[in-house]
């Protein structure tokens, strides 16, 4: 009798091991296929969620002439608006555009759900006039003038609640909304600044106003914005400082509702 014919011989052991390996391999393949299907379904669900129609009319390429210069903006008008309606002015970061900001901050959806006009302003050469801004003559700042004229223009075409005018910004846009809050403290009810510190040497506003400062804990702007929050409080502003864990220089969309809750509870009428 040769060794191969024995029930517990080496050949039988090899065959059993091969069968076990094959079964395990098939099981792993089934698990991987199931995981892939689940991942694909999740991706499709996310895409459907983000790309579902927004209950608003969007005008992506609007323009207005300010002091002889054509300035561009993107307007979002929700289908359901209170009368008069609050309005949010949004300022993008360096190198961004009105469209790219709309994509990363997801404010169109927020405006549609909560019923406020939303306008994204476009900076000249993708940068706002915050560097070496003349604190003694902010009225002449080209981007402050842009805000002024656009607010007038939109008020002529929409029923806007002038006591509920808000401004939000990202990075360089966040720095600009803080400059704008000082220049137009009588016109703006509250601001939200994301990942951008206060410009240097621009003083303080005549009328302290509510300020929401949001920054990632890993953002290089974090320390400066914490210092800004402390200074604003000492100047009499209502300040909420939010540090988002494990976030860098980004807009945290999961805080959008929190942002609107902060802004919407304030109005210019409360300052009078």
Residues 126 and 170 in one domain: yes
Question: What local confidence, expressed as pLDDT, does residue 174 receive?
Answer: 98
Q: How far apart are CA 106 and CA 234, in angstroms?
A: 33
Same domain, 82 and 9: no
- Half-sphere exposure (Cβ direction) of 137: Cα atoms closer than 13 Å: 5
Q: Mention every residue, 6+ apart, whose C-beta is less than 8 A from residue 211.
A: 178, 181, 190, 191, 192, 193, 229, 232, 237, 238, 239, 240
pLDDT of residue 151: 98
DSSP 197: P
CA dist 66 and 68 (Å) reads 5
Residue 270: how many other CB atoms lie within 10 Å: 13
Strands (E), 176-268: 190-194, 211-216, 239-244
Mapping DSSP to helix (H, G, I), strand (E, B) and coil, where does residue 233 land?
helix
pLDDT, residue 8, reads 52
Same domain, yes or no: 95 and 209: yes
What whole-number distance in Å separates Cα of residue 170 and Cα of residue 121? 12
Q: What is the rounded distance in angstroms from the CA atom of residue 120 to the CA atom of residue 100? A: 10
Look at residues 49, 64, 85 and tell me which one is the last residue of a structural domain. Answer: 49
Q: Are 30 and 60 in the same domain?
A: no
Query: What's the CA gap between 171 and 166, in Å, rounded?
Result: 17
Residues 185 and 111 in one domain: yes
Q: What domain count does the chain have?
A: 2
Specify the DSSP element, H or E, that contains 231.
Answer: helix 222-234
Rounded-to-5 percentages of helix, strand, coil across the chain: 45, 20, 30
Same domain, 152 and 216: yes
Q: Name the burial class of residue 130, with classes exposed (0-12), middle (13-18) and buried (19+) by CB atoms within 10 angstroms of its CB.
A: buried
Q: Is the peptide bond before 250 cis (omega within 30 degrees of 0)?
A: no
pLDDT at 87 (0 to 100): 98
Q: Are residues 62 and 114 in the same domain?
A: yes
| Regions in the chain scoring below 70 on pLDDT | 1-26, 28-29, 31, 34-52, 272
What CATH number should be reported for the domain holding residue 90?
3.40.50.1820
Q: Are residues 144 and 34 in the same domain?
A: no
What pLDDT shows up at residue 253?
A: 97
* Same domain assignment for residues 187 and 255: yes
Report field, pTM of the whole predicted structure over 0.85 = no
Q: Are 247 and 221 in contact (CB under 8 A)?
A: no
Each residue of 179-212: pLDDT tens digit?
Answer: 999 999 999 999 999 999 999 888 777 788 999 9
Same domain, 131 and 222: yes
pLDDT one-digit tens code per residue, 213-231: 999 999 999 999 999 999 9
Tokens standing for 158? 């929409």
Place of tokens 């075409």: 157
Q: At CA 125, angle to CA 158 and CA 210, rounded to 5?
A: 50
- State whether 30 and 145 are in the same domain: no
Predicted local distance difference test score (pLDDT) of residue 24: 64
Identify the pLDDT of residue 10. Answer: 57
**Which residue, 12, 32, 49, sits at the end of a domain?**
49
Domain with 131, as residue range(s), is 55-271
Q: For residue 123, what is the DSSP state? A: P
My answer on whether 118 and 23 are in the same domain is no
């Amino acid at each position: 009798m040769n060794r191969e014919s024995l029930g517990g011989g080496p050949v039988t052991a090899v065959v059993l091991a091969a069968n076990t390996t094959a079964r395990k391999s098939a099981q792993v393949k089934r698990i991987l296929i199931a995981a892939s299907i689940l991942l694909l379904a999740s991706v499709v669900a996310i895409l459907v969620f983000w790309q579902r129609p927004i209950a608003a009319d969007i005008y992506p390429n609007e323009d207005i002439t300010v002091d002889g210069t054509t300035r561009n903006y993107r307007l979002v008008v929700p289908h359901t608006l209170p009368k008069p309606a609050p309005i949010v002015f949004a300022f993008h970061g360096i190198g961004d555009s009105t469209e790219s900001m709309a994509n990363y901050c997801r404010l169109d959806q927020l405006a549609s759900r909560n019923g406020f006009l939303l306008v994204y302003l476009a900076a000249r050469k993708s940068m706002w006039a915050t560097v070496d801004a003349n604190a003694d003559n902010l009225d002449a700042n080209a981007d402050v003038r842009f805000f002024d004229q656009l607010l007038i223009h939109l008020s002529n075409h929409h029923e806007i609640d002038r006591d509920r005018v808000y401004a939000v910004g990202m990075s360089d846009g966040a720095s600009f909304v803080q400059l704008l809050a000082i220049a137009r403290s009588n016109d703006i009810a509250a601001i939200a600044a994301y990942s951008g510190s206060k410009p240097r040497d621009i003083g303080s506003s005549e009328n302290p106003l509510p300020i929401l400062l949001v920054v990632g804990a890993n953002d290089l702007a974090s320390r400066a914005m914490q210092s800004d929050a402390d200074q604003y409080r000492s100047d009499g502003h209502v300040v909420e400082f939010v540090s988002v864990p494990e976030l860098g220089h980004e807009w945290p969309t999961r805080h959008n509702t929190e942002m609107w809750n902060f802004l919407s509870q304030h109005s210019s009428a409360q300052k009078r």
